Structure 1
Amino acid sequence: MAQLRSAVRAFVAVGHAPGDVLAGANRTLIDLGSGLLASCCYLHLDPAGHRAWAVRAGHPPPLLRHPDGHTDVLDLETGPLLGVDHASHYPPTPVDLPPGSALALYTDGLVEERGTPIDVGIDHLRSSLAHARADSLDELADRLLQHAQRSSYRADDIALLLTEYRPAATGHQPPRRR
Structure 2
Amino acid sequence: MSDCREHDGAIQELRKVIERQRRELEMHRSELAQTNAGLLALHTEVERQRQRSAFLDEVSRTVSASLLGREVAEALVRLVQREGVASSAAVWILGEDHRLTREPRNGTVPGQDVKRVLTTRRPVAAPGRMLVPLAVGPNLLGVLELRRGEPGFAEDDLAFATAVAARAAVGLRNANEYERERELAERLQLAMLPTLEHPDDLRLSARYLPAARGVNVGGDWYDAFTRADGSTVLTVGDVTGHGVDAAVIMGKLQNALRAYAAEGHGPAETLRLTHHLLRGWRSPLLATAVVIDLDVRTGRIRWANAGHLPVLVAGHEGAVRPLDEPSAPLMGVPFDFEIREYDTLLRPGETILLYTDGLVERRGLSIDTGLDRLSGVFRSAATLGPDEAGDRILGEMLGADEHDDDVCLLLCRWATPA
TM-superposition CA deviations, 1:115-166 (whole Å, max 9, x none): 1111111111111111226542111100000034425353321011000011
Instruction: Give the residue type in structure 2 aligned to 1:36.
Output: L
SS at match of 1:159: strand
In the comparison of the two structures, how many residue pairs are matched? 169
Output aligned runs, 1:124-143, within 5 Å.
124-132=373-381, 134-143=383-392
Separation of aligned partners in 2, 1:162 and 1:33: 33
SS at match of 1:25: helix
- Report the equivalent of 1:4: 253
* Cα shift at 1:69: 1.5
Moved more, 44-53 or 145-154: 145-154
Separation of aligned partners in 1, 2:415 and 2:260: 27
User: Contact conserved, 2:314 with 2:382, CA < 8 A, in 1?
Assistant: no
**Gaps spanning 5+ residues in structure 1: where?**
173-178
- Report the equivalent of 2:300: 51
- Report the equivalent of 1:33: 282
Output aligned runs, 1:156-171, within 5 Å.
156-168=405-417
TM-superposition CA deviations, 1:24-75 (whole Å, max 9, x none): 0000111011121011011111122322111111111010002312111222
The answer to whether residue 396 in structure 2 is matched with residue 147 in structure 1 is yes
TM-score normalised to the size of structure 1? 0.89
User: Contact conserved, 2:318 with 2:382, CA < 8 A, in 1?
Assistant: no
Instruction: Give the residue type in structure 1 aligned to 2:394.
Output: L
Instruction: Give the residue type in structure 2 aligned to 1:69.
Output: G
- Report the equivalent of 1:20: 269
RMSD in angstroms over aligned alpha carbons? 1.5
The answer to whether residue 307 in structure 2 is matched with residue 80 in structure 1 is no
The answer to whether residue 360 in structure 2 is matched with residue 111 in structure 1 is yes
Moved more, 18-27 or 133-142: 133-142
User: Contact conserved, 1:67 with 1:98, CA < 8 A, in 2?
Assistant: no
- Report sequence identity in percent: 35
Moved more, 85-94 or 57-66: 85-94
- Report the equivalent of 2:347: 98
Of the two, which has the highest radius of gyration?
2
More RCO (CA 8 Å, sep 6+): 1
* Cα shift at 1:87: 1.6
- Report the equivalent of 1:62: 311
- Report the equivalent of 1:175: none
Report which of the two has the higher share of helix: 2
**Gaps spanning 5+ residues in structure 2: where?**
1-249
SS at match of 2:407: coil
Separation of aligned partners in 2, 1:4 and 1:133: 30
